Amino acid sequence: MKRVQRWMAGLFMIFISYQLLGSIIYTREVAAFYGVDWSLDEHGMAMNGNAVFGEMRDIFELEVVSGLGELRCPGITSERGQITEGVVAGVTICCEVANEHQRSVPYIEKEGVAHYLCGKWPNIDHVQRPLNSPG
């Protein structure tokens, strides 16, 4: 019985360590996305996939466009080179999501392009959409 308890305690510590590491890396990725030097005092710590600072934008702006002969995510590009779709509230979007309840993602506009930081560590994706495209 003690062996099982030690295994459970070890697994719990691994889980907590993974969550903490993911949150630290995600927070640093959000800071880099916004081009700021991250500070715990100034910006706080984000739970992995849930930014706590910067402008946020409704994730449904990246809703999938579907139909015969059409691209599923027209005009949207991914830094990873491949767009990962996610599902939020039964709607498919052109963005990796942290969870099915996510409603917004970090957002910035630069030179006529909308930039979104999608997902959570280790699956963070930076997607872009020209501001004059559908969405």
What are φ and ψ of residue 82, in 5° steps? -140, 125
CA distance 4 to 9: 9
- Rama region for 27: left / alpha / beta (φ>0; ψ in -120 to 50; rest): alpha
Helix, strand, coil shares of the chain, percent, nearest 5, are 30, 25, 40
Calpha distance 131→135 (Å, rounded):
9
- When computed from its CA atoms, the radius of gyration of the chain, rounded to whole angstroms, is 17
Specify the 3-state DSSP secondary structure of 75: coil
38-84 confidence digits (pLDDT tens): 888 888 888 888 888 889 999 888 888 765 445 678 889 999 888 88
Indicate the SS3 state at residue 97.
coil
pLDDT tens per residue across span 93-112: 998 888 888 889 999 999 99
- In this prediction the pTM is 0.83
